[in-house]
A and B are shown apart, each in its own frame.
Chain A
Amino acid sequence: MADLRINLAGIKSPNPFWLASAPPTNSGYQVQRAFEAGWGGAVWKTLGDPILNVSSRFAAVSFNGQRVAGFNNIELITDRPLEVNLKEIYETKKRFPDHAIIASLMVEPKQEKWHEIVKRVEDTGVDGLELNFGCPHGMAERGMGSASGQVPELVERQTYWVKEAAKTPVIVKLTPNITDITSTAEAAVKGGADAVSMINTINSLAGVDIDTWNTIPHVGGKGAHGGYCGPAVKPIALHMVGECARNPRIPIPISGIGGISNWQNAVEFMLMGATGVQVCTAAMHHGFRIVEDMIEGLNNYLDDKGISSVMDIVGKSVPKYSDWGNLDLNYNITARINQDVCIECNKCYIACEDTSHQCIDRLVDSNGVSFLKVREEDCVGCNLCSIVCPVDGAIDMVEVPNDLPPMTWNERQAALGLLNGTAEKVVKS
């Protein structure tokens, strides 16, 4: 049995699976049931001035039979008085002292507002604070959430104000609705953050009803943009985690969020630098008990790898994540079709012929039997054929030896710059 305990900036939890600040952590009843199911921590649904919500709040994007491939919401932060939440946080922490409870906070960007809520929340015994600089809908129109999270100066200043008052670790939750998330992550570091979490939801409109012409969701015939999450956003979140993890100016732990639906996703985020993960959509789709499979799967994975502690995998893939300019231009792979497995559906042929590099031939053998074959010398190794292939094992992407040594774009451009006497200009262009 591997040790699944994590320590994220001083916040300890029995496993790396936390519920993210969202509807599943709205109340003590829910969080306590989550802890009973096995969740290691919970980030309480964002506390602040109680808001008013609308009816019709969620929408999901299904794709080819996959329910909830993406999830959109226009629900705001807690609509319950602070005292009610604080009482339930206190009771929950008392009942589950070894589980992590982090309070998500959002107030106006004013020093006294932050000081007040930090002091009142910390009195409940929370293990940490998470500053919600990420919600893109509703609250952003009032200058909070992603509106302040998109401005590095505001992130730094508000983090600093919180740190003035806080005694527990402060996690800054970042919005992905920004060109470069490292700029706001660096601002959080400058403000004194103990950790960052990412990503919050992405600006979105789930759909338009082509019969009624209403938005999805709509509130009495009118809609507004929401926040998108769920499996569809995982690649975006993973990239942002990786970008922060490999940035030396962001030397603080990361709590990974964004489409994490199973233990494998959690491992990916941790390998890419997250110390722990937060989950929302998967729990909303399947219930709290999904954490049982997550814990079992993660434990088995670590045991199979001979790894004694989950903390030992944190960041192991980060050195493998770099800039395009550092990739080897002379590394080659090619597609190989396994004739024994191929069902000759021609998906690969059509994909390659119509939208890629026209390097799959449809041939007929001496017995008149048709088959597909890759012209390896023309294959650029794009992977498209293996991506569209419906049969596992029908197409392998295999390494091809190259007689040329490794060479990156950056190395090439540096050599050209030296040759032409325009090194700086060429490298920058």
Chain B
Amino acid sequence: MSEHQQYVLEREQIDDLLQKGYKIKKVIESLSGDIVQFEQDSNTEEEPTKEILLILTPNARKYFSVKLIEQAQGNVQL
């Protein structure tokens, strides 16, 4: 798989979670890539649902960063 194809796949995974209402809650930059923790707020007292993606490609790391900035600005655009 080319790096571009891998980027497209990772971008789709990020978009999928954001479209389901997840928000980026934590990012850990590591030697192996960026570990991005997503959480979906629940309306009940249950623990929020968490998902974790290991983002490997540089373009996908740029992509979630753009989404994070938009999230911080309260302006998530998909």
Give chain A's interface residues, CB within 8 Å of chain B: 329-330, 375, 377-378, 404-405, 407, 411-412, 415-416, 418-420
Contacts and interface: CB of A to CB of B under 8 A. Distances in A.
Given A378-B2, A378-B4, A420-B26, A411 B62 contact: no
18 contacts: A329-B62, A330-B62, A375-B2, A377-B4, A378-B2, A378-B3, A404-B63, A404-B66, A405-B66, A412-B62, A412-B65, A412-B69, A415-B65, A416-B29, A416-B68, A419-B26, A419-B68, A420-B28
B27 A407 contact: no
A290 to B, nearest CB: 46
Contact of A330 (B66, B68, B72): B66
Nearest to B34: A416
Say whether chain B's binding surface is mostly helix, strand, loop, or mixed: helix
B62 A419 contact: no
B65 A407 contact: yes
A353 to B, nearest CB: 14
Interface of B: 2-4, 24-29, 62-63, 65-66, 68-69, 72
Contacts of B24: 419
Contacts of B28: 420
Contacts, number: 42
A419 B63 contact: no
A330 B60 CA distance: 11
Contacts of B68: 412, 415-416, 419
Given A407-B62, A420-B26, A415 B72 contact: yes
Contact of A416 (B2, B27, B62, B66): B27
Contacts of B65: 329, 407, 412, 415-416
Given A329-B62, A330-B66, 15 more contacts: A375-B2, A378-B2, A378-B3, A404-B62, A407-B65, A412-B65, A412-B68, A412-B69, A415-B65, A415-B72, A416-B65, A419-B25, A419-B26, A419-B72, A420-B28
Contacts of A420: 26-28
A405 B63 CA distance: 10
A420 B35 CA distance: 12
The 4 closest A-B CB pairs, nearest first, are A377-B4, A412-B65, A415-B69, A415-B68
Nearest to A405: B66
A377 B57 CA distance: 13
Contacts of A405: 66
Contacts of A404: 62-63, 66
A416 to B, nearest CB: 5
A6 B6 CA distance: 56
Contacts of B29: 416
B14 to A, nearest CB: 12
A111 B36 CA distance: 62
Nearest to A332: B59
A424 to B, nearest CB: 16
A419 to B, nearest CB: 6
Nearest to B4: A377
Contacts of A418: 72
Contacts of A415: 65, 68-69, 72
Nearest to B61: A412
Contacts of A330: 62, 66
Contacts of A411: 69
B73 to A, nearest CB: 9
A418 B72 CA distance: 9
A329 B28 CA distance: 19
A177 to B, nearest CB: 35
Contacts of B4: 375, 377-378
Nearest to B63: A404
B5 to A, nearest CB: 9
Contacts of B63: 404
A275 to B, nearest CB: 40
A6 B65 CA distance: 47
Nearest to A379: B4
A407 B66 contact: yes
B18 to A, nearest CB: 14
A375 B3 CA distance: 12
Contacts of A377: 2, 4
Nearest to B29: A416
A314 B24 CA distance: 46
